[in-house]
Structure 1
């Protein structure tokens, strides 16, 4: 069942998303060689709680941390740890905030120091594919139109789309219907109606699309151990427009590639 939101509820999600965007911006200040990923998690949790939010991920089905931190071949759901960032790494930061009864969700992948041109192209392609997907997330289209647009672009660049992990609706719950795959056929899937709030989040691999789950029950990495990138926004569908509720503004004020 899809839960459509009122304008007032969408505004509350947007307020949650502002805290989230600024938390991402605080984390971005510290992404560099020599920093432990556990330190980034601490920065995010402190900022969110200091601004009357609650980390959406911490405790969700037993997840232990505020951030999903996924380095290099880890696609999503990596744990913050004592791992120290080094030159040439890429790091995906995925975070959610619960505030005034509603969740927001957003992710960004960063290069650390000097990364190879091939990996930098992966990041740029994945980020661009997110916005191409959002362009199709308009009233009257269907979920498949979003995935088709992302898949067509990514595969034209020689990369692959993860199939087993998808975007999702969100609101009072972190994960709601509908699922939003990053692949698909035009004109397929649920219709995009006014009041729908979804997280669109392409996960794109440099090598094959195949993934494996680590023994911790959470961490998902590429089967061939080649790098993977992940970008995400929460968006709301209106009859006359689509609004990106989350923001990368505060990240990009501090960190650009």
Structure 2
């Protein structure tokens, strides 16, 4: 983080267009999440996402990106991110990470959530709750004048007390006309100086949190990232605009894993 980076500032016209892309990405993500159920395959969810994109006159921001073969990333259980839809059957108790990125009108919308397939055990519920809350802890720091490092550090600071760890090899990022723009947005406090956030900056903030060790491995397909101890991992993401006031979540959606919905207490 010591290297000075040029973070793009979006104009009011840019933001209007980006808001449309982000709202579309959020809608597709929510519909894909509702489609997750035991007995379906991850490939069926990917195909459904492709249909939804076609209906909404947008394209996948992932398909073909550096050779990625899926329309969305769909990652199961110990798979952290970048999972590829296949004939893998979703089973009761699985958790599915769904990451939807689309291009519409020349702008990107990028967001992700973790979805339980039927009932899941208490520890996995706690993992989802902690990860989703860490996203909102980070978002609360997406304010004019805040150091980026404070936003990044908020994720790890929230999940560590529960015994969970953050993935360090993969990070969030700036987003706009391109899927990956400056700055990098890790889920831990980076060393050295960090830039201050300014209105018009747009960040894809995406906690990737493991139930066990933080280490990960990329499978032989060249994409799918799994936890080294094969314990579950959780992933939530929003595209967020820094404004003169409170953060503006461009991919806004109802919170999926709140304590109230899951009926658990995180400190219990």
Q: Partner of 1:172 in structure 2?
A: 177
- State how far apart, in whole Å, the 2-side matches of 1:25 and 1:171 are: 21
Pick one of 38, 47, 55 that aligns with 2:52: 47
**Secondary structure in structure 1 of the residue aligned to 2:35:** coil
Count of aligned residue pairs for this structure pair = 254
What stretches of structure 1 of length at least 5 have no aligned partner?
none
- State how far apart, in whole Å, the 2-side matches of 1:67 and 1:189 are: 31
Q: Partner of 1:9 in structure 2?
A: 14
Assess if the C-alpha contact under 8 Å between 1:143 and 1:192 holds in 2. Answer: yes
Instruction: After the TM superposition, list the runs of 4 or more consecutive aligned residues in structure 1 that deviate by more than 2 angstroms.
Output: 185-188, 247-252
Q: Does 1:82 align with 2:92?
A: no
Pick one of 229, 237, 240 that aligns with 1:235: 240
Assess if the C-alpha contact under 8 Å between 2:33 and 2:98 holds in 1. Answer: no
Q: Does 1:156 align with 2:161?
A: yes
Q: Partner of 1:116 in structure 2?
A: 121
Pick one of 217, 220, 239 that aligns with 1:215: 220
**Secondary structure in structure 2 of the residue aligned to 1:179:** strand
Deviation at 1:43, TM superposition (A): 1.0
Q: Does 1:23 align with 2:34?
A: no
Assess if the C-alpha contact under 8 Å between 1:67 and 1:95 holds in 2. Answer: yes
* TM-score of the pair, normalised by structure 1: 0.95
Q: Over residues 7-55 of structure 1, what are the superposed CA-to-partner deviations in whole Å (9 max), with x where a residue is unaligned?
A: 1111111100111111112212211110111111111111112111111
Pick one of 186, 194, 197 that aligns with 1:189: 194
- State how far apart, in whole Å, the 2-side matches of 1:103 and 1:250 are: 22
- State how far apart, in whole Å, the 1-side matches of 2:254 and 2:139 are: 17
Pick one of 27, 31, 40 that aligns with 1:35: 40
* TM-score of the pair, normalised by structure 2: 0.91
Assess if the C-alpha contact under 8 Å between 2:111 and 2:251 holds in 1. Answer: yes
- State how far apart, in whole Å, the 2-side matches of 1:213 and 1:60 are: 17
What stretches of structure 2 of length at least 5 have no aligned partner?
1-5, 263-268
